[in-house]
């Protein structure tokens, strides 16, 4: 019984140290029927009254092991009856999910398992999911990540806490839990697939770890666990540094674009740069699978070489572009196609841009002959566009106009280059046309042919402005 008391104390101490369990928590305990999950639930049940916990068992059948999986579910159902707690059972087809998503069976099973957990949190209103990972699982995860060539986060292994998921047994060895189960008279199931060395994880468990223990270090489990703790602490530190430094680098951000100050960004150590990029790319929806060592190296080279216009496609829909003094992370394409026929007196909201366009006629010369300092407001001569179709659209390669103050045509692409307009803004620029003629490169330059002259009797006001927030004062 001394061992049982020790396990209970360690469980409570570890949970308190990492703030895993709080009074009034509503915890879904994932119970497969194996020794880890059976002991986990028994320990949670022992502190249930002290913490006034709400507990439910949850069990997922992955449809991998046929009748054996059905027997596991029946075992968990009987276990829930003994503890007099509610249990939730569900089946999800891991082999089918694997085929549809081109994953390994292990990856597919893991993904549908966590989808199951997250779905239950939404459905039940419970706030935590307790998982039975223990010390040996941690070591196997760290070794597997090491063999894949992982980074710091991977060498930190399984996190003690991530969102609603808690792992109160990461301190305990498998031997500790088996002994506890035996002394408390707890029955548990053995998963036959855990012995199948066709799975990489099982080869680590049954072949690599015993070899390392016998030939290199009898305390290899403890040693690798300590290593994992060191890397997990390093990951926590770097994540905090990244949060603080990234904010100092950001010049502009919205749902489809983040611009970093290249000079500030370049002042940091490479490891901090990588963490900044990782966090910001994840904000843009880029999954970890795209963020390889080679991809990070290409991104750091991009920032270091400072070759304007150079870009790296990070994923099928996200690119990083060097644009003058900015490192631009953007979804591609980030600007919807615009082609809108314009009529007088109407207000046009432009899709995805947060802009509105308006056009108004005035017969008051004192108004339309007055110069505006606002680049998003221009006046043109009504007679120059009378009877012509007005259209607001994206500018195209080959578009030409006569910039105000000049006599000759100039390609818009050359105008933007000469004006040193950043690459990431060029795709967003719109033009107003009258039939085939460009009237205005919106926000940048009017065409000289449409300017207001002394002879003008009517003026037309062109307005392109940001949509005002309802909360703006």
Q: What is the pLDDT of residues 298-310, one digit of tens each?
A: 999 999 988 888 8
The pLDDT of residue 473: 36
pLDDT at 471: 44
Least confident among 36-45, 71-80, 252-261, 330-339: 330-339
Phi (first) and psi of residue 57, to 5 degrees: -90, 145
pLDDT at 431: 94
User: Residue 31 class from Cβ within 10 Å (0-12 exposed, 13-18 middle, 19+ buried)?
Assistant: buried
Q: Are 276 and 320 in contact (CB under 8 A)?
A: no
The structure's pTM equals 0.68
Average pLDDT of the segment spanning 302-324: 87
pLDDT band at residue 468 using 50, 70 and 90 as cut-offs: low
User: Which residue in the block uniquely carries the two structure tokens 């003629």?
Assistant: 437
| Average predicted confidence (pLDDT) for the chain | 90
Please report the pLDDT score of residue 269 as a whole number: 93
> What's the Cα-to-Cα distance from 13 to each of 4, 8, 27, 171, 365, rounded to whole Å?
14, 9, 18, 10, 81
Q: How far apart are CA 337 and CA 352, in angstroms?
A: 10
Higher pLDDT residue, 325 or 437?
A: 437
Using one digit for the tens of pLDDT, what is the confidence trace for 164-199? 999 999 999 999 999 999 999 999 998 877 788 887
Mean pLDDT of 389-414: 92
Compute the distance between CA of residue 438 and CA of residue 402 in angstroms, rounded to an integer.
Answer: 9
Nearest residue to 295 (alpha-carbon basis) of 314, 308, 274: 314
pLDDT tens digits, one per residue of 204-242: 999 999 999 999 999 999 999 999 999 999 999 999 989
Whether 46 shows a pLDDT value over 80: the answer reads yes
List Cβ neighbours of 412 (8 Å cut-off, separation of 6 or more).
395, 399, 400, 401, 429, 431, 438, 441
Mean pLDDT of 426-438: 90
Is the model more confident about 64 or about 469?
A: 64
Q: Does residue 469 carry a pLDDT above 60?
A: no
Residue 472 — pLDDT band, cuts 50, 70, 90? very low
Q: Which two tokens stand for residue 221?
A: 């489990």
In 359-405, alpha helices (H): 365-368, 382-385
pLDDT of 143 reads 95
Confidence of residue 137 (pLDDT cuts 50, 70, 90): very high
Model pLDDT, residue 364:
78
Q: State the pLDDT confidence band at 352, using cuts at 50, 70 and 90.
A: low
For 121-141, what is the mean pLDDT? 96
Q: Among residues of the chain, what percentage have pLDDT more than 70?
A: 95
CA 348 vs CA 78, 198, 392, 427: distances in Å: 65, 61, 10, 19
Q: Which of 231-235, 367-371, 400-404 has the lowest mean pLDDT?
A: 367-371
The confidence band for 260, taking pLDDT boundaries of 50, 70 and 90, is: very high
| pLDDT exceeds 50 at position 107 | yes
pLDDT band at 105 (very low <50, low <70, confident <90, very high): confident
Which residues, 6+ apart, have CB-to-CB distance to 82 below 8 Å? none
Query: Is pLDDT of 148 > 80?
Result: yes
**Percent above pLDDT 90 for the chain:** 64
Q: β-strands 165-166, 128-130: how paired? A: parallel
Confidence of residue 324 (pLDDT cuts 50, 70, 90): confident
Question: Could you give the domains of the chain?
Answer: 2-228 (3.40.50.620), 255-331 (3.30.465), 339-466 (3.50.40.10)
> Is 50 strand, coil or helix?
helix
Residues 137-150 have a mean pLDDT of 92
63 pairs with which residues across the strands? none
Q: How far apart are the first and last CA of the chain?
A: 69
- 411 pLDDT band, cuts 50/70/90, is very high
DSSP codes, 234-301? HHHHHHHHHHHHHHHHEEEEETTEEEEEHHHHHTS-HHHHHHHHHHHHHHTT--GGG--HHHHHHHHH
Would you state the pLDDT for residue 261? 93
Helix (H, G, I), strand (E, B) or coil at 413: helix
**C-beta separation of 276 from 268 below 8 A:** yes
């Amino acid at each position: 019984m001394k061992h049982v008391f020790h396990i209970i104390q360690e469980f409570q101490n570890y949970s308190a140290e990492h703030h895993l369990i709080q009074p009034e928590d509503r915890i879904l305990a994932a119970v497969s029927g194996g020794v880890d999950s059976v002991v986990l639930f028994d320990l949670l049940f022992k502190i249930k009254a002290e913490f006034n916990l709400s507990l439910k068992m949850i069990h997922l059948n992955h449809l991998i092991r046929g009748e054996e999986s059905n027997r596991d579910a029946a075992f968990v159902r009987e276990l829930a009856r003994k503890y007099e707690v509610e249990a939730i059972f569900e089946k999800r087809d891991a082999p089918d999910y694997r085929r549809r998503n081109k994953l390994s069976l292990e990856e597919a099973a893991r993904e549908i398992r966590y989808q199951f957990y997250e779905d239950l949190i939404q459905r039940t209103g419970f706030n935590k999911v307790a998982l039975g990972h223990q010390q040996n699982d941690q070591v196997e995860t760290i070794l597997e990540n090491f063999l894949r060539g992982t980074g710091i986060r991977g060498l930190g292994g399984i996190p003690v806490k991530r969102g609603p998921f808690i792992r109160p047994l990461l301190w305990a060895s498998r031997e500790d839990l088996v002994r506890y189960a035996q002394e408390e008279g707890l029955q548990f199931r053995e998963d036959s697939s855990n012995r199948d060395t066709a799975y990489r994880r099982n080869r680590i468990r049954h072949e690599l770890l015993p070899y390392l223990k016998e030939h290199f270090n009898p305390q290899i489990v403890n040693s690798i666990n300590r290593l994992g703790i060191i890397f997990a602490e390093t990951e926590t530190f770097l994540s905090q540094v990244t949060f603080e430094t990234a904010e100092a680098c950001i010049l502009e951000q919205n749902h489809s674009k983040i611009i970093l100050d290249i000079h500030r960004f370049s002042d940091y150590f490479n490891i901090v740069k990588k963490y900044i990029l990782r966090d910001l790319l994840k904000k843009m929806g880029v999954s970890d699978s795209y963020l390889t060592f080679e991809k990070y190296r290409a991104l750091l080279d991009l920032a270091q070489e400072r070759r304007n216009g150079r870009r790296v496609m990070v994923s099928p829909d996200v690119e990083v572009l060097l644009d003058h003094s900015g490192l631009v992370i953007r979804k591609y394409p980030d600007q919807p196609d615009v082609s809108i026929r314009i009529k007088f007196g109407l207000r046009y909201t432009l899709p995805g841009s947060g802009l509105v366009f308006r056009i108004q006629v005035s017969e008051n010369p004192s108004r339309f002959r007055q110069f505006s300092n606002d680049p998003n407001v221009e006046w043109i001569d009504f007679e120059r566009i009378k009877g012509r179709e007005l259209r607001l659209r994206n500018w195209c390669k080959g578009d030409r106009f006569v910039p105000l103050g000049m006599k000759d045509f100039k390609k818009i692409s050359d105008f933007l280059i000469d004006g040193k307009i950043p690459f990431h803004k060029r795709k967003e620029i719109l033009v107003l046309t009258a039939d085939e003629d460009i009237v205005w490169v919106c926000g940048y330059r009017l065409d000289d042919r449409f300017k207001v002259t002394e002879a003008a009797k009517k003026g037309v006001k062109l307005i392109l402005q940001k949509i005002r927030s309802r909360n703006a004062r």
